[in-house]
Amino acid sequence: HRGWLEVICGSMFSGKTEELIRRLTRARIARQRVEIFKPALDTRYHAQDVVSHNQNSIRSTPVQSPSEILLLAGGATDVVGIDEAQFFDESLVEICKQLADQGTRVIVAGLDMDYLGRPFGPMPALLATAEFVTKVHAVCVCCGELAAYSYRIAASEKQILLGETDSYEARCRPCFLAGESVK
């Protein structure tokens, strides 16, 4: 079989990890060799597992840099899953290309936008080069419409702030723009 790149993107709480776990579980049922990676800095729920907000989980290998993914996935892997891809540097784009070129199915999940609505890290280039792109949506916690934005409640201006419902909420465009004045 031939390789390709799939990207699952969306805001926080949109179901990216759930969808990634669903696809990887199905690949395992089909007896394919699956490897899952996440950035080592994302230890919010578990050092090793990729865990979704509804507590689904799958064992993963935390890595410091994208080059480790290429080394560890090797040639014997059919499917490579990568969660929280926005936290990796731009070199992830070339690593995913190499894996796909050598015949691996690569499934990447990550935030397409940061808390200010700016394209996040390597995600724009991954979206541009993927054969398949899925954008999933959360529910706006203010009004119940589809949410594409991750609104930061915590007072910090760093692009990377690991957090949960204590630091972020999913919001639609109008409620994201309205900021503190809605709730």
* Residues in the annotated binding site for ATP: 10-17, 83-86
Binding status of residue 14 toward Mg ion by CB under 5 A: no
When binding is defined by CB under 6 A, the residue of 1, 29, 31, 54 that contacts ligand ADP is 54
Q: How far apart are the first and last CA of the chain?
A: 50
Q: Catalytic annotation on 18?
A: no
6, 19, 35, 84: the catalytic one is 84
Q: How many CA atoms lie within 13 A of 166 on its CB side?
A: 4
Are residues 96 and 5 in contact, defined by beta-carbon separation less than 8 angstroms?
A: yes
Kindly state the smallest distance separating residue 15's Cβ from Mg ion, in Å. 8
Alpha-carbon gap, residue 58 to 56, rounded angstroms: 7
Stretch that binds ligand ADP, among 16-24, 30-38, 98-106, 117-125 (CB under 6 A): 16-24
Bridge partners, residue 169, by sequence: 151
* Range 153-182, binding ligand ADP (CB under 6 A): 170
Query: Active-site residues: which are they?
Result: 84
